[in-house]
Amino acid sequence: MMEGKDRYITGKHPVLEGLKIKGIIWEIFVQRGTEGNLKELTGEAEKAGIRVRSLDKKEMDNLSSGVLHQGVIARTAPFKYGEMDDIFKLALERGEDPFIVVLDHIEDPHNLGAIARSAEGAGAHGVIIPEKRSADITPIVYKVSSGAVFHIPVVKVINIANTVTALKERGVFAAGLDMAEESYTEKDLTGPLALVVGAEGKGLSRLVKEKCDYVVSIPMMGEIQSLNASNAASVLLYEIRRQRDEGKI
C-alpha cells in the first residue's frame, strides 16, 4: 500500500538504513561543510547511483521542516505499507511463531517510531496500526525509529478490534497491555502472539480489550502509576523476546 507524495528522511542513521533497500531513496542532500562526516553515506549513495547535492544550512533547515537532520536529508519514495500476509510470510521465513505488535490508536509519531524501533530490535514480524486516529509513517517516525520501519512490515487496517479477531482466527493469541491484576511476569508469552498496546493516556479501547485473550500490566513501585506507551511496549517486547529465547517463563 503506497501513501502520500514523496517524503524526506532526516538524519544519518535513518538515511543509511534507507540506502540498504533498493528504490527507497531518490536523492540525497547534505549540508555544506559536513561532507567529511558523511563519507560512508555518500559513498553508499554513489554505489547505488543516487545523486548527492550540497545545500546551505538554511536550505537544509527549511527542507527538514524542523526535524533534526544532522546534515543529511534524503528524498524518498512514498512509504510502502505492508499487507497482513507479509507478517506471516516473514515469520515463516524465519521459522518462528508469529510475533506481532498491534497499536490501538497511537497518535504521537515519536511513540510510533520508538515502538517500531523496539519491535524490530526484539524480532517482531510486523506492526499493525489503524487507518484513522493514528500517527502515520512520517519523517519524525523515520528519525525516531532510526530507520527500523524499513526492516519490519507496517500494516494499516480499518478496524483494530476486527483485526484482533482475524489474528485469533489464524491461531495468534492476543495479549493486551493495560491496567490489569495479572503482571506480565506471571504470564507465558511464548507461541504465536500479538501484543496489543493502547493509546497514550487512554489505554486499550473497551472493545479491543474485550477481544484480547488476556490482559497484563507492568507493576509500578513508585508514585507514578503508568509508563509512556513506547516505554511500556518496549518492556513487554523484550520480555516476549526473553521468553522466546529461553522457551519458558
Is residue 57 within a helix (H) or strand (E), and if so which, with residue range? helix 57-64
C-alpha to C-alpha distance for 19 and 39, rounded to whole angstroms: 14
Cα–Cα distance, 137 to 7 (Å, whole number): 10
**Closest residue by Cα to residue 212 from 104, 140, 127:** 104
Q: Is the pLDDT of residue 226 over 70?
A: no
Domains and CATH numbers, the chain: 7-76 (3.30.1330.30), 84-246 (3.40.1280.10)
What pLDDT is recorded for position 217? 85
Residue in the structure block whose three cell numbers are 514480524: 125
Residue 10 and residue 70 in contact, taking contact as beta carbons nearer than 8 Å: yes
How confident is the model at residue 222, as a pLDDT? 52
The C-alpha atoms of residue 87 and residue 124 are separated, in whole angstroms, by 9
Q: What is the rounded distance in angstroms from the CA atom of residue 71 to the CA atom of residue 20?
A: 19
pLDDT one-digit tens code per residue, 35-80:
677 888 888 888 889 999 998 888 888 887 777 788 889 988 788 8
- Average pLDDT of the segment spanning 218-239: 77
What grid cell was written down for 198?
Answer: 493502547
C-alpha–C-alpha distance, residues 46 and 66, integer Å: 27
pTM of this prediction?
A: 0.83
How many Å apart are CA 192 and CA 244, to the nearest integer?
Answer: 10
- Other residues' Cβ atoms within 10 Å of the Cβ of residue 155: 19
